[in-house]
């Protein structure tokens, strides 16, 4: 491999001749060969937005020239096009401030900007990193990354699944089924009511995410190294946020306390908690559907899931709830990520948190996995989900919990005795009640009507 020589304050470094990074990136690449996890591309995009906005403000403040600004903006736009992702090779497991990823961005922008400009226009520290520190750029990029992913991926996925559940509700309006509590038969309800519970869970999760976004939209940029704003112009943070607002359509603003912004990652924790809540709701919905579709003959069998692929390598004709399983595995991963984010956020020592790369990685993975899994579940499960009317009616009619409607007439103890007698003697509820002489047949037929046990919708 051919090399060129780059240098930093520690001396000279050999860098592959076709690499666009420089000395500090190369040092990190060589010193942290840990795992296979790389900084997310979405974080690199966030850095591109941030570096563009900083360059524009620095040019207005006459801290860099208009030509330097244009060079920085040009390379950042190339990054956002996706053509330079291979120039960001650094591991998640690096310095806890993310300094080396900030310098990776600075160096790539410098190298390409100077090549395209035909002159040494840019310097990674003095020009591209002007008015900034890794300590305020990395947490800012983290928040920008998460905000963009939520806006562009997660919210559309949630909106899609909510709309699909609304369609399922409407399609099954008026159909009554047996309810279940503690995995045991309970009183009846509408199928549409059960589905409405899933829909409402998704809607509530969306509301929780929305409530957590304002804190995520507060950025540390302008704080520089320890929160004092040293070497940054007055109002640098608010001015950068105003440009980011225009670029992204997201209302970013400066954190009202920069000392909080650098050392605390509570916004990430709060938002991760909302993601965990969504994961918990998704887990419950997916589990309900795989229970209700169990069978098809020896399980509950009230729902039928699409046959997307063969379910077994040995049992022909088997259909497994694969989309449910994928969604529940994602939910487990998100819950684990939330624990990691919480532990990492607790490590804000003095003026800086030094667990930021792992927070960024896990937060990005949670958002991306939930968005992808919900979209897949909507398309490949809910869109083809059907209710088995015959099985639903059969289960309803065989339930002993219909006896509940007799409580006001014969009392709780006699109703319980009838249900137990029916179960022990393999009788229908009606047969048990008549055998025990608790009611006449006409009385039973008038009282035990599932449709009367379900409250009409307002």
Among candidates 299, 274, 44, which has minimal Cα distance to 150?
Answer: 274
| Opening angle at CA 431, ends 427 and 436, nearest 5 | 110
Asked if 356 contacts 265 with a C-beta cutoff of 8 angstroms, the reply is yes
Q: Which residue, among 88, 127, 126, has the nearest Cα to 108 in the 3D structure? A: 88
Provide DSSP, 353-412. ES-HHHHHHHHHHHHHHHHHHHHHHHHHTGGG-EE-HHHHHHHHHH-GGGGGGGHHHH-H
- Taking residue 126's Cβ as centre, other Cβ atoms within 10 Å add up to 13
Which of 65, 81, 83, 312 is catalytic? The answer is 312
In 3-state terms the chain splits into helix, strand, coil percentages (rounded to 5) of 60, 10, 30
Please give the C-alpha separations between residue 136 and each of 93, 207, 304, in angstroms, as whole numbers.
Answer: 19, 29, 52
Strand, coil or helix: what is 176? strand
Supply the DSSP symbol for 457.
P
Tokens of 365: 């993975």
> What is the phi/psi pair of residue 195, to 5°?
-65, -35
CB 428 within 8 A of CB 210: no
- For residues 147 and 49, what is the distance between their CA atoms, to the nearest angstrom? 12
Contacts of residue 397, Cβ cutoff 8 Å, sequence gap at least 6: none
Q: What is the DSSP letter of 87?
A: G
Dihedral sign for Cα atoms in the order 110, 363, 40, 252: negative
Is 182 a known active-site residue?
yes
Please state the separation of Cα 453 from the chain's center in Å: 39
- Catalytic residues, which ones? 182, 312
């Amino acid at each position: 491999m051919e090399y060129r020589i780059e240098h930093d304050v520690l001396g000279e470094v050999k860098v592959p001749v076709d690499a666009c990074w420089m000395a500090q990136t190369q040092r990190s690449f060589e010193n942290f060969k840990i795992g296979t996890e790389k900084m997310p591309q979405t974080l690199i995009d966030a850095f591109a937005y941030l570096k563009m906005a900083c360059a524009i403000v620095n040019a207005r403040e006459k801290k860099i020239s208009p030509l330097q600004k244009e060079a920085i903006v040009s390379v950042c736009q190339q990054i956002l096009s996706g053509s330079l992702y291979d120039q960001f090779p650094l591991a998640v497991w690096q310095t806890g401030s993310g300094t080396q990823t900030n310098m990776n961005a600075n160096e790539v922008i410098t190298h390409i900007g100077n090549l395209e400009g035909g002159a040494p226009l840019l310097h990674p520290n003095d020009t591209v990193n002007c008015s900034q520190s890794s300590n305020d750029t990395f947490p800012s990029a983290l928040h920008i990354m998460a905000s963009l992913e939520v806006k562009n991926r997660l919210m559309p996925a949630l909106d899609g699944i909510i709309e699909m559940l609304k369609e399922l509700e409407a399609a099954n309006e008026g159909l009554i089924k047996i309810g279940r509590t503690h995995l045991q038969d309970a009183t009846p309800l509408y199928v549409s009511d059960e589905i409405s519970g899933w829909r409402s869970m998704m809607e509530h999760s969306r509301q929780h995410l929305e409530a957590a976004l304002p804190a995520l939209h507060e950025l540390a940029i302008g704080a520089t190294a320890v929160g004092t704003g040293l070497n940054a112009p007055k109002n640098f943070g608010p001015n950068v946020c105003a440009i980011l607002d225009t670029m992204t359509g997201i209302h970013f603003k400066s954190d009202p306390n920069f000392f909080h912004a650098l050392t605390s990652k509570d916004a990430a924790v709060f938002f991760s908690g909302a993601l965990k809540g969504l994961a918990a709701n998704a887990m419950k919905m997916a589990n309900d559907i795989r229970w209700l579709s169990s069978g098809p003959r020896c399980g509950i069998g009230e729902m039928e899931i699409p046959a997307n692929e063969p379910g077994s390598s040995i049992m022909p004709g088997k259909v497994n709830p694969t989309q449910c399983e994928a969604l529940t595995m994602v939910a487990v991963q998100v819950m684990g990520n939330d624990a990691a984010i919480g532990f990492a956020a607790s490590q804000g020592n003095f003026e800086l948190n030094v667990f930021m790369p792992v927070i960024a990685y896990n937060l990005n993975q949670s958002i991306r996995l939930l968005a992808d899994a919900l979209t897949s579940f909507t398309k490949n499960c809910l869109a083809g989900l059907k209710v088995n009317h015959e099985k639903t009616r059969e289960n309803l009619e065989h339930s002993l919990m219909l006896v509940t409607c007799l409580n006001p007439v014969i009392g709780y103890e006699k109703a319980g005795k009838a249900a137990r007698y029916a179960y022990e003697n393999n009788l229908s509820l009606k047969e048990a009640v008549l055998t025990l002489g608790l009611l006449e047949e006409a009385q039973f037929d008038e009282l035990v009507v599932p449709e009367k046990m379900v409250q009409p919708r307002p």
